[in-house]
Amino acid sequence: MAKKKTTAKKTRKKFKIPSFKLTRLQEVILGSALMVFGILLFFSFLSFIFTWRADQSAISELGSREVVTQNWVSQVGAGLGHFFVYEGFGLAAFSISVLTFITGIFLFAASRNLFRLSNSKLFTLWAWGLMLMLWLSVSLGFFHEQNSMLGGKVGFELNDYLQDYLGLLGAILVMAFFAVVYLVLRLKITPEKVSSYFSRQAKEVQESFDAEVNEHQTSENLVKESAPLTSNLESEVTQLEEEKSEGNKIDLSSKPINSDTSNELDSNAKSTEVKETAPIKRTVAPKDDNDIGMDIEQAPEEEEVIDTKATKLVEDFGEFDPTLELSNFQFPPIELLKDYSQGKTLTINEEELQANKDRIVETLNNYKIGIAKISATIGPTVTLYEIVPEAGVRISKIKNLEDDIALSLSALGIRIIAPIPGKGTIGIEVPNQNPSVVSMRSVIASPKFQQAEKELPIAFGKTISNETFVVDLAKMPHMLMAGATGQGKSVGLNAVLTSLLYSKHPAEVKFVLVDPKKVELTLFNKIERHYLAKLPDSEDAIITDNSKVINTLNSLCIEMDERYEILKEAMCRNIKEYNAKFKARKLNPANGHRFLPYIVLVVDEFADLIMTAGKEVETPIARLAQLARAIGIHLIIATQRPSVNVITGMIKANFPARVSFRVQQKVDSRTILDSGGADQLIGRGDMLYTAGNEIIRIQCAFVDTPEVEKITEFIGSQKAYPDAYILPEYVGEEGGTALDDNIDERDAKFREAAEIIVVAQQGSASLLQRKLKLGYNRAGRIIDQLEAAGIVGGFEGSKARQVLIPDLASLEVFFNEEENK
């Protein structure tokens, strides 16, 4: 599925429909011209059908004023008809007039808003329209004998050609095959759909038939049943009279005159009422005179309701497509990224390898460690030498000598892994003399990234064995990133963001960017209305002011709570399940359900933030980190100073994925990775990654500022949402307080809110949120104020509050009284 998606995406990237930029005036003029031309074509063709014989002789002389033609559009009509219908496609040529007319309307009526016909859709319309025309023309070619006009010359010739090679039967089969292809690809008609359509139709017919029959039967039964009742009575009365006259004693109780009949009548009436669930009844007759009969009643199987509302909605409208609003969004093409390797592959310097090997063997020999085998894996920046020590050498010995060996090899960036987990060998990583740059382009283009079946795929770079390293941010679920200044942290953050820009539609992911340095992430301003999220009323989506960060973090906490609430209501455990359910139209948007994009919070310079805001940021960050994974909020926090007062225990415990570029001291490395090694890195994107278990050395992909600029410009120049993704409003401690009925301190939208609540007779904050487009907090505060004013009742748990004012007129009276107080 995901593979299909990527291939589709690839084709979309490769094939670009040329976009002609016309001014609105040009569009109107061109649109009208095409509409007129379409109509002209239509009438030319139509009249050509009737007048072609009469005009045939004039065709060769067209152009001169003296020529008289019968065609309604005169010489032009005769010429067009001759060209398109006679010489061309026969009756199928009408498609051209229709397509031309539609294109005209599209341009004339400002297209997008009225007809939702984008350039690409128009292109598809033409392509399919022309193919259909060709098919029709060739198919009508079968009837050439009867009327040569039907398929036109093209239809006839192609049909003839097919028949020469395939015979009549073969040609018919081929045309039938193309018809099937058209139905399946264009109209999306599959055998399943056809059969489900017919079974639905059959069911409907059956139901209406049943209903009619039952109606009929009820009335008939009533008539029939009343007849035996009267005849029974009559016969019984005569019998009684006879018996009386005969002087016999009569036991009236033995013959309940009408109990049977009335029962039957009852049951008949009932059977029509409960038509669908009526049990199946039958009677087993007695075998002989001594036996008694038995009535058997069998309950019918309950009907399965397959046609639920959701499946019907999906059948009618297809799955919900979150990308529909920006359906023409084009992912940035790979060409925007620079290829730093310029086609060069990793070159192996034999001499360097040999020299390093000799030094390793010699150094280890100095410590009396014999080597049985040594092998090398060449990576982009470092080469891993894997050593199998001679039998009897204890690994702990090598581990203890780690620092000494590193010192003896005396090169920056040496890291000793003793043993390599799962291998039982010892690894020594030695930096290459000529490290190669891992370009972002190479990792984005790699199949590993393109085919990654991940929610939020991040292509970090390449591992030591030169494999592209792709991880899923959604699984991490949060990441800490550390590194001394100038070691590649900002490039790393850009690589993360670029990966997401190349893989996720704006509807699927939103970024909250916090950049106290004010310069690192500013480039992303251009994609504000596509990919960024911000607080309501804030001007810039990228947060550079530390005081605003607190509001944003708290707002994210509110978003988190809201998301949990709607997930609970939808009975989903996580965002993936929820979105799948929403796409399948099982959740009603009228109940506050919506497609939830992932939110990625990126904080650069976290140390700075902690220093200025301390607990105020730490608490919401820790809360988000603890709880936000299931509802699709993921945090990436970067810092230069990975000291314990910045990366506190609480934060560390909730960030299992850690990335470290080169740090100054071993202690920093320990703080971030819980082990040394990051102090031994060589910088320039050389990094260690851990998700809790083993530590992987990666060369981070390099993406330069101009590349990011090009990508953001490409995205920013496309049609965008009207605004950035708006986060819930958060009002700090200083905001209004609850239950104080101070008229002056009431919210500006108090009155409007009161009217909404009274009209709906439902005191719920979410109703206000929806109708007034407010944040959760503000809506909640208004509800509290409404309670204080006596318009709504008290909190009633999960139920909506009671509304104490019955209608708008009473509300008006209420406000008037309040004013006069």
Ligand X SMILES: Nc1ncnc2c1ncn2[C@@H]1O[C@H](COP(=O)(O)OP(=O)(O)OP(=O)(O)O)[C@@H](O)[C@H]1O
Give binding residues for ATP as ranges.
Answer: 483-490
Q: Which is nearer to ligand X, 511 or 702 (CB)?
A: 702
| C-alpha closest to that of 158 among 90, 95, 96, 99 | 90
Enumerate the β-bridge partners of residue 383: 378, 430
CB of 414 to ligand X, least distance (A): 19
Spatial neighbors of 48 by CB under 8 A, at least 6 apart, are 55, 71, 77, 78, 80, 81, 82, 85, 86
Integer Cα distance of 708 and 716 in angstroms: 12
Spatial neighbors of 743 by CB under 8 A, at least 6 apart, are 818
CB 528 within 8 A of CB 506: no
CB of 714 to ligand X, least distance (A): 22
CB of 520 to ligand X, least distance (A): 6
SS3 of 488, please? coil
Residue 344 burial (CB < 10 Å; 0-12/13-18/19+)? exposed
CB of 464 to ligand X, least distance (A): 15
CB of 519 to ligand X, least distance (A): 9
CB 603 within 8 A of CB 520: no
Residue 715 burial (CB < 10 Å; 0-12/13-18/19+)? buried
CB of 341 to ligand X, least distance (A): 12
Known binding positions: 483-490
Q: Which is nearer to ligand X, 360 or 481 (CB)?
A: 481
Q: Which is nearer to ligand X, 489 or 563 (CB)?
A: 489
| C-alpha closest to that of 594 among 311, 312, 308, 325 | 325
Give the chain's radius of gyration (CA, Å).
40
Cβ-proximal residue to ligand X, closest one: 685
Backbone phi and psi for residue 319, each to the nearest 5 degrees, phi listed first: -65, 155
Neighbours of 819 (CB within 10 A): 8
| C-alpha closest to that of 134 among 167, 79, 182, 100 | 182
| C-alpha closest to that of 672 among 696, 648, 693, 694 | 648
| C-alpha closest to that of 558 among 225, 566, 92 | 566
- Report the length, in residues, of the chain: 821
Q: Which is nearer to ligand X, 139 or 712 (CB)?
A: 712
Task: Verify cis geometry, omega within 30 degrees of 0, for the bond prior to 477.
Answer: yes
Q: Which is nearer to ligand X, 514 or 631 (CB)?
A: 514
Q: Which is nearer to ligand X, 208 or 485 (CB)?
A: 485
Angle at 604 between CA 601 and CA 607, to 5 degrees: 115
- Which residues form the interface with ligand X (CB under 6 A)? 437, 483, 485-491, 640, 684-685, 700, 702
Q: Which is nearer to ligand X, 498 or 640 (CB)?
A: 640
53: tokens are 């014989």
CB of 315 to ligand X, least distance (A): 50
Q: Which is nearer to ligand X, 534 or 662 (CB)?
A: 662
Q: Which is nearer to ligand X, 170 or 706 (CB)?
A: 706
Q: Which is nearer to ligand X, 41 or 603 (CB)?
A: 603
CB of 643 to ligand X, least distance (A): 15
DSSP assignment of 132-156:
HHHHHHHHHGGGTTT-TTTTHHHHH
| C-alpha closest to that of 143 among 177, 170, 168 | 168
Amino acid identity, residue 145?
Answer: E
351: tokens are 């001499």
Integer Cα distance of 532 and 497 in angstroms: 11
Q: Which is nearer to ligand X, 356 or 490 (CB)?
A: 490
